[in-house]
Amino acid sequence: MTCLNPQSHEPHEYLADADAVTLSPCPGRPVTRPTVEEWALGVAKAVSTRGECTRRRVGAVILDAQNRICGAGYNGAAPGVESCLDGVCPRGQHYEIVPFQHGGSDGCACGNAWPCPEAAPVGSSYDTGPGACISVHAELNALLDVSDRSRLEGGTLYVTTVPCDGCLKILKVTRIIMVVYENEEGGTSVESL
């Protein structure tokens, strides 16, 4: 058993077997846990790792009024359909490679110079026309994951980025009352529906 308190102190009793980490109160170190918001956004981040977009991975989790998970989703193609990771999404094939170190451009992901003539026009719709994205957004996939719609009453959706206008429009006709997301400044923003 391992105590997480780095300061020396008297031994104390542990709650489980010798391979576990103690969760019991330790002298000199208060027991803490994340807020519901921190925890839910952490779950949404974990869910985002399953995202199927080469450009951006987004995760969403819905908590009911009792702060229990009732749905989770990430951005991706329909089950059983080839996805962006398989190279079938036009936006996933053509986007600017910007090196982290020096800025500038290393060209298009397809190997052409940037701007690539095959890339979707800047500002074009993700949902219609040339370059339409094949993924379903994380927020909608989280809604589709909810098996008991009554659990949406008074619920909150937590998502790893600001929801698009289309997702907000859909969320406003559900019983979800709030959306919490990570903003561009690294903090969180809350939007009442």
145/148 Cα distance (integer angstroms): 9
Our CA dihedral for 182, 187, 192, 193, rounded to 10 degrees, sits at -10
60/80 Cα distance (integer angstroms): 21
Residue 139 a catalytic site member: yes
Q: Of residues 139, 153, 184, 185, which has the active-site annotation? A: 139
Our CA dihedral for 100, 101, 105, 109, rounded to 10 degrees, sits at -50
**Type of residue numbered 3:** C
Nearest residue to 156 (alpha-carbon basis) of 39, 46, 7: 39
Q: Which residues contact 139 (CB under 8 A, 6 or more apart)?
A: 60, 73, 157, 159, 163, 167, 170, 171
Enzyme catalytic residues: 139
